[in-house]
């Protein structure tokens, strides 16, 4: 997908060109709190609420859509939050290039593209290989939160997690449709208002789990761009 890119001139926006390697990611934050990652921040509503609740933690919000990153940055600035950074980057590419072992205290993945057609389901972000890889980057006792408005996707992820050593379920059952106090994205709120349930999962990395990064194949940034102004990156 080719996107017309609007320049994001915000102190909370982190460009890949600013990073020389994984160590630079933690240096992007003023505080030294634990780092959590939201994959697919959308318009930023979920992240704004979460980061405001936990000023002692650092949050990296990523998305592949430029407009979503721009709107998220604007909301972060309006809320006066200093513990959030935003990147326009693909999740697997971020993991392969800029994350280190045991670097994430939590990961949030809310309503990713379900690719509902059967022939397209191999394109889903969260699958067995992704979950095995993520285990390497989660801290011991680090949390994975996943939600989907598409039951088939939630059931697939729950089944894969239940079969992986190193994850333990933190809910009374594999997935639930009521998750009190969990922040809502604009997308999630819209579906709930239409009477469509959101399916939630919460798993935790077991303290004794040891995982090497799983091979993901050739990892690419995941998008093509058409810059609005020459020289901007």
Of the residues 63, 113, 143, 152, only one is catalytic, namely: 113
CA distance 217 to 100: 18
Is 113 known to be catalytic? yes
Please give the full DSSP string across the chain, using - where no structure is assigned. -EEEEPP---TTB--GGG-SSHHHHHHTSSS-PPEEEEE--TTSHHHHHHHHH-TTSEEEEEES-HHHHHHHHHHHHHHT--SEEEEE--HHHHHHHH--TT-EEEEEEES-----SGGGGGG-S-SHHHHHHHHHHEEEEEEEEEEES-HHHHHHHHHHHHTSTTEEE-SSSS-BS--TT----HHHHHHHHTT---EEEEEEE-TT---PPPP-SS-----EEEESSTT--
131 near 161, Cβ under 8 Å? Answer: yes
Q: Which two tokens stand for residue 199?
A: 């399916």
Active site residues: 113
């Amino acid at each position: 997908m080719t996107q017309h890119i609007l320049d994001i001139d915000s102190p909370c926006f982190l460009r890949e060109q600013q990073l020389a390697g994984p160590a630079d990611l933690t240096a992007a934050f003023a505080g030294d709190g634990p780092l959590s990652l939201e994959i697919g921040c959308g318009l930023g509503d979920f992240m704004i609420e979460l980061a405001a609740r936990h000023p002692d933690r650092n949050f990296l919000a990523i998305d592949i859509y430029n407009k979503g990153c721009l709107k998220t940055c604007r909301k972060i600035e309006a809320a006066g939050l200093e513990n959030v950074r935003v990147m326009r980057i693909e999740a697997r590419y971020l993991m392969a290039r800029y994350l280190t072992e045991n670097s994430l205290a939590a990961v949030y993945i809310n309503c990713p593209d379900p690719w509902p057609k059967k022939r397209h389901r191999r394109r889903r972000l969260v699958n067995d290989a992704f979950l095995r890889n993520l285990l390497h980057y989660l801290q011991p006792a680090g949390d994975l939160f996943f939600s989907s408005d598409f039951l088939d996707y939630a059931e697939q992820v729950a089944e894969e997690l239940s079969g992986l050593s190193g994850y333990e379920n933190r809910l009374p059952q594999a997935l639930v449709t009521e998750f009190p106090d969990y922040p809502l994205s604009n997308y999630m709120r819209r579906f709930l208002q239409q009477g469509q349930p959101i399916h939630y999962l919460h798993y935790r990395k077991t303290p004794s789990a040891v995982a090497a990064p799983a091979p993901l194949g050739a990892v690419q940034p995941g998008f093509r761009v058409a810059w609005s102004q020459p020289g901007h990156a």
